[in-house]
């Protein structure tokens, strides 16, 4: 798709990862404008699309023989850097997606009872942290993409 060594599953997952902070930002603007229903639908839709994409990527990586097999496509000189990068990327991505799933479920339950309301402050704080996590995940995914499929 992008003229790299990556296949369609990898490219689509990468695209979803890049789009996530942008769409999350749009959805947060909706919340700011008190369009809560739109905010909720965008958040839940985006989360489901991203979870499905990551599941597809994970299956694809396992079928290819694990992340080691993918990284072997990178030049040997980059192998150690790519390994460290992968650890940072996976840690940030897993923490972000876990917090994101928790916030979506917790907010869904509290919507119109404690949100807006007593849950608002925690929701907002964690929401902005998740937005930062999605941004970092997109950046580090770009690094991994370059290591495994471009360089």
**Is the separation of the CB atoms in 70 and 64 below 8 Å?**
yes
- Residue-wise burial string across 63-92, b where 16 or more C-beta atoms lie within 10 A, e elsewhere: eeeebeebbeebeeeeeeebeebbeebeeb
Residue 44 in contact with ligand HEM, rule: CB under 6 A: yes
Rounded to an integer, what distance in angstroms lies between the CA atom of residue 42 and that of residue 2?
27
Which x/- pattern over 68-87 shows residues binding ligand HEM (rule: CB under 6 A)? --------------------
Residue 102 in contact with ligand HEM, rule: CB under 6 A: no
Indicate the residue among 100 and 145 with the shorter CB distance to ligand HEM. Answer: 100
List the one residue out of 14, 43, 28 whose CA is nearest residue 147: 14
125-144 binders of ligand HEM (CB under 6 A) = 127-128, 130-131
Residue 24 in contact with ligand HEM, rule: CB under 6 A: yes
Contact positions vs ligand HEM (CB under 6 A)? 24, 28, 31-32, 36, 39-40, 43-44, 100, 103-104, 107-108, 111, 115-116, 120, 123-124, 127-128, 130-131
């Amino acid at each position: 798709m992008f003229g790299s060594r990556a296949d369609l599953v990898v490219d689509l997952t990468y695209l979803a990862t890049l789009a996530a902070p942008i769409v999350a930002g749009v959805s947060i603007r909706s919340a700011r404008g008190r369009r809560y229903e739109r905010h909720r639908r965008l958040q839940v839709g985006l989360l489901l699309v991203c979870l499905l994409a990551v599941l597809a990527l994970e299956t694809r990586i396992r079928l290819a023989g694990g992340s080691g097999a993918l990284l072997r496509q990178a030049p040997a000189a980059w192998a150690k850097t790519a390994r460290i990068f992968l650890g940072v990327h996976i840690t940030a991505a897993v923490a972000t997606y876990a917090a994101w799933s928790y916030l979506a479920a917790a907010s869904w339950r509290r919507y119109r009872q404690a949100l807006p309301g007593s849950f608002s402050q925690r929701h907002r704080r964690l929401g902005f942290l998740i937005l930062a996590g999605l941004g970092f995940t997109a950046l580090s995914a770009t690094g991994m993409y370059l290591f495994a499929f471009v360089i």
